[in-house]
Structure 1
Amino acid sequence: MSPRTLVVGGGLAGLLAARRHQRAGHRVVLLEASGGLGGAIADRTLPGAGALALNAGAEAYSTASGAVDELVAELGLGEAVRAPREGLGSRIVSAAGVHRAPAGSLLGVPGRPLAADVRAVLGTAGSLRAALEPLLPARYGVRPGATVAETVRRRLGRRVLERLVAPVVGGVHSADPASLELAAASPQLAKGLAEHGSLVRTVRRLRGTGRGAPAGASAGTRVHSLDPTMAALPAALSAQVLGAGGIVRTGTAVTGLSREDGLWQVRTGRGETLAAEHLVLACPPDTARTLLAGTVPEISAAIPEAPSAAVRLVALVLDEAALDAFPSGTGALVAPGTPGIRAKALTHASAKWEHVQQALREALPAAAHPHLVRLSYGRPGEQLPGREEIVDLALADASAILGMQLGRAQLLDAAVIDWDRAMRQARPGHRAALETLTALLAEREDLDLVGAWRAGTGLDAIVRADRAAADRSTTAHSAPTHSAPTEGHHR
């Protein structure tokens, strides 16, 4: 009989792992504690906006490697892929004001520090300081486990850190650059710095922004989304797992693990015990650490601390003619400490995505100028605004970022969405801890740990990690003929 694999966690990483083990000929059971699949990929319906469906979590994926585009095509979702509206770019908001985000940057590090769009944010002095970075000794500001803030401040100066890098780290990683490890936040930058001795030269190589090269794509445009929402991705993966005979159970929390007679014994909150030859933990790192502590304590202890940052999103459906001009392009990232603004990021979804604007027009035919704007809150160490006050705060912040007065008079509907455990903080030592954990896991074929805390931030990183796992498995073993049961179950 084919071996059984039990996957704990139904986010993107768990669904991909379930599919991968099915392709290796395993019988798969996936358990998800919550009532739905997809993890940080989810949608939400706004009843006050004509039952409009909007992204409640991840709204897009990076196209840098092409991995997610290939996955989407494999799943038959190619016709649902949408690219952002061209020519808009995004904005950086700081004490210096609102400026177009510099093109050809990575994690906020500019490839051309003296370019006009960089000078507009940093000022001449800040740009000149950053332009000196390639002349610094290669090891300056570099050490194992160095934080983003430590390396960027020393090599590029305070203004690059505060006005360019901190907004990206806060908005994309929900982290503080002073506690986020550079090697975990951007392996490309860390590797390039080690190889080329310069962050600026690394960005130029990766973004093609050297002297005489084009400026590169506008910030925030190297992404795709799905129509109507990104929730189509986990739905398609789940359907594929079920169609190949897998069992998917939501509302089923795992409460304990043990090893008996060469099998994993998995206890659930329903009072049952399930046995499996292979176990995949696609759950948060703290949960994995607790579950494994009594069975494989050396692996449990190797799982790095990666605390989560709570994020509160506010989606605003507005009717305002001035928004038709897309005043902040696709959106904006806000530097910490920017006077008068508590939001860390704003996405003008109906400006960024034509399919969102079309959906708004169809859902709200009576609205003359419908728009969807989404703001996010929650920096590390910061108390989240209360749910009762946050809609008015979001309207005030949107007004400041977009440069117009927005209030309840223009508001058609709003949604407040909380994510408590989605964003993980890679602290100093994270990359080294992962290397130790990977070495321990390589010694056994019956256990794997997957998720963004191992793969990195973003859907692209998770998909690439799953691909790498599949390649390692194919190399180590001849792939068995796929023979799955014909009946799938989803309870």
Structure 2
Amino acid sequence: MSGVRSDARRVVVIGAGIAGLAAAHRLLERGARVTVLEASGRVGGKLLPGEIAGVRVDLGAESLLARRPEAVGLAREVGLADRLQPPATATAALWTRGALRPMPKGHVMGVPGTADALTGVLSEEGLRRVERDAELPRTEVGDDVAVGEYVAARLGREVVDRLVEPLLGGVYAGDAYRISLRSAVPQLFQAARTHDSLTEAVRGIQARAAANPQTGPVFTGIAGGIGTLPLAVADSVRARGAEILTRTAATELRRADDGGWRITAGDRTLHADAVVVAVPAPAAAALLRAEVPAAAAELTAVEYASMALITLAYRRCDVRLPVGSGFLVPPVDGRTIKASTFASQKWGWIAEQDPETVVLRTSVGRHGETEILGRDDTDLVAVSRHDLAAATGLGATPVATRVTRWDDGLPQYPVGHHARVARIRDHVGKLPGLAVCGALYDGVGVPACVASAYAAVDQLGGDLRGVEQLTAHPVQSLHGGAGE
């Protein structure tokens, strides 16, 4: 095994999504001998490269939050530095009240600092309601509170329904009136604990950002697609001696007599000094039930949202789109799609492949919405085309379409989620050589998943006494946001 000592500890990583692969990458840096088990036939989880009409595209997440270092750093480490590419345009819109309207500036996840930029998005009464925030008595957020509940109490439901809901829905495919403020918008939660006024809290966040400006784009992509990141990480870990076994589902995880772990995967039994469980909550619960039943019970309670991405390709001569990267759709407006990305306008690497083809994406599905996702692919394409025509006037027939379904793709972060995660980690941490990571713990975005993986490896540090510390990397804050 290249670069690995013969006496290095053996670690099995269960799950080859970006979290599991990042954990494997970090473990190899620490000198471990690594095997990765993946139940499906491919690596990458919710990151999926594909093509439409001969044009390479992402069929899953399409961007990285560039102002968190973990995912961008990992991309650079696996040889993708020269392919990191910011959006060609980051100007987004809201499709609300019958028109595409510029996304208001000066907000934190849709929560405004003033009412100045909200004309056209909110009604006159909604604008007046925002301005009354400074007159209201303080609203305590306690240990946690739902984003929608708190914001509606301070600024009125219109702000939640027309601004917060579409932005949160784009990240979690969830319901703003259930999503945890502490877990989903932690900087706003902390500010709300020290300010009497919510708009004042937002302005305080903005003032601190202005005093410490960050250079560079907020988001970045990868030429060829974000879906190429897990492929590059997988290539890197294989080149350094790790084994990645696809179509190999781990079905049982038990303590071994020597204090290590025994993993059953089909007709194979693997022995390891340590295990990283990097799979969604239902699979993690099944694996942990025998040895950590309390953690399994907590994991069983985690809910997920399903969604579908509809990718459409058009001849350029048939398309005239508004400027910008796309638009979000407030559910209160009664539309079917929740967002659309003008992919060829947003990403230069897509446009450059075929200047005569225009690629768009729409998304449908939120937590609890079962009817729309029960429709067949043809119907999802039809409703997407209907809403695109209503929003942009696009009436042309696409030359190709693809529907990608992500069943139970996004874990939900309800009120109290942070406490549930703490309990899971506490239960798991009582057993040496066991750690968990992934989207359900510290954020659904790619940087948060990578950070979760690094934290899991760091947790195992004391249990891997035979592992050589080849490289030391500080773990970044796990609560810096939840962008893709």
TM over 0.5: yes
* C-alpha distance in 2 between matches for 1:110 and 1:415: 36
Hey, what's the Cα distance between the residues in 2 that align with 1:379 and 1:302?
Answer: 23
Quote how far apart the aligned CAs of 1:473 are: 6.1
Conservation of the 8 A alpha-carbon contact between 1:40 and 1:57:
yes
- The partner residue of 1:330 within 325, 334, 340 is 325
Please report how far the alpha carbon of residue 444 of structure 1 lies from its aligned counterpart in structure 2 after TM superposition: 3.5
Partner of 1:489: none
Aligned pairs (5 A) from 1:116-135: 116=117, 118-135=118-135
Distance 1:44 1:109 in 2: 35
CA contact (8 A) 2:309 2:363 kept: yes
Shift of residue 136, structure 1, vs aligned partner: 3.7
Matched with 2:416 is: 429
1:104/1:229 CA distance change after superposition, 3 Å: same
Q: 1:208 to 1:374 in 2, by over 3 A?
A: farther
Contact 2:30 2:468 in 1 (8 A): yes
TM-superposed CA distance for 1:191, in Å, is 2.0
**By how many angstroms is 1:328 displaced?**
5.3
- Residue in 2 that maps onto 1:98: 100
Q: Provide structure 2 residue ranges, at least 5 long, that are not aligned to the other structure.
A: 1-6, 471-484
Provide the residue aligned with 1:201 in structure 2: 200
Change (3 A) 1:241 1:135: farther
Deviation at 1:114, TM superposition (A): 2.3
1:22–1:482 Cα contact (<8 Å) kept: no
Tell me the CA shift for residue 414 of structure 1: 0.7
Question: How many pairs are equivalent?
Answer: 458
Q: Is residue 203–residue 209 contact of structure 1 (8 Å, CA) maintained in 2?
A: no
Aligned to 1:392: 382
Residue 197 and residue 3 in structure 1: after superposition, are their counterparts in 2 closer, same or farther (change >3 A)?
A: farther
Q: C-alpha offsets along residues 273-302 of structure 1, whole Å, 9 cap, x if unaligned?
A: 111111111001121112111122122224
Distance 1:282 1:99, change over 3 A: same
Alignment of 1:195-234 (within 5 A): 195-208=194-207, 222-234=218-230
Contact 2:47–2:59, Cα closer than 8 Å, also in 1: yes
SS at 2:391 equivalent: helix
Query: How far 1:133 sits from its partner (Å)?
Result: 2.9
5 Å matches for 1:172-191? 172-191=171-190
Q: Which amino acid aligns with 1:125?
A: E
Kindly state the Cα deviation for residue 244 of structure 1 after the two structures are TM-superposed.
1.4
Give the 5 Å matches for 1:234-383: 234-261=230-257, 262-269=259-266, 271-303=267-299, 305-321=301-317, 323-324=319-320, 326-327=321-322, 329-339=324-334, 341-361=335-355, 367=356, 370-382=357-369, 383=371
TM alignment of 1:20-59, pairs within 5 A: 20-46=26-52, 49=53, 51-59=54-62
8 Å Cα contact 2:57/2:225 also seen in 1? yes
Q: Distance in 1 between matches of 2:207 and 2:246?
A: 45
| Separation of aligned partners in 1, 2:450 and 2:248 | 25
Distance change (3 Å), C-alpha of 1:135 and 1:8: farther
- 447, 452, 457: which one aligns with 2:444: 457
Per the TM alignment, residue 450 of structure 1 is displaced from its structure 2 partner at its CA by 0.5
CA change 1:304–1:208 in 2 (3 A) is farther
**Other-structure match for 1:62:** 65
Equivalent AA in structure 2 for residue 178 of structure 1: Y
Q: Which residue of 1 aligns with 2:407?
A: 420
Partner of 1:481: 468
Residue in 1 aligned with 2:473? none
Distance 1:179 1:439 in 2: 25
Question: What aligned pairs does 1:12-27 form with structure 2 within 5 A after superposition?
Answer: 12-27=18-33
RMSD: 2.6
Is structure 2 residue 68 aligned with structure 1 residue 79? no
SS state at 1:132 partner: helix
Distance between the aligned counterparts of 2:261 and 2:224, measured in 1?
40
Task: State the match for 1:152 in structure 2.
Answer: 151
Q: 1:475 & 1:205 partners in 2: Cα distance?
A: 40
Q: Is the 8 A contact 1:96 1:121 kept in 2?
A: no
Mapped to 1, the partners of 2:203 and 2:465 lie a distance apart of 41
Range with bigger deviation, 456-465 or 277-286: 456-465
C-alpha offsets along residues 332-351 of structure 1, whole Å, 9 cap, x if unaligned?
A: 11111314x20011011111
Gaps of 5+ in 1: 362-366, 484-491
Q: Contact between 2:99 and 2:391, CA under 8 Å: does it hold in 1? A: no
Deviates more, 1:221-230 or 1:192-201: 192-201
Match of 1:466 among 430, 453, 458: 453
Do residues 406 (structure 1) and 395 (structure 2) align? yes
**Contact 2:8–2:467, Cα closer than 8 Å, also in 1:** no
Q: Percent identity?
A: 31
Structure 2 CA distance for partners of 1:431 and 1:313, relative to 1, 3 Å: same
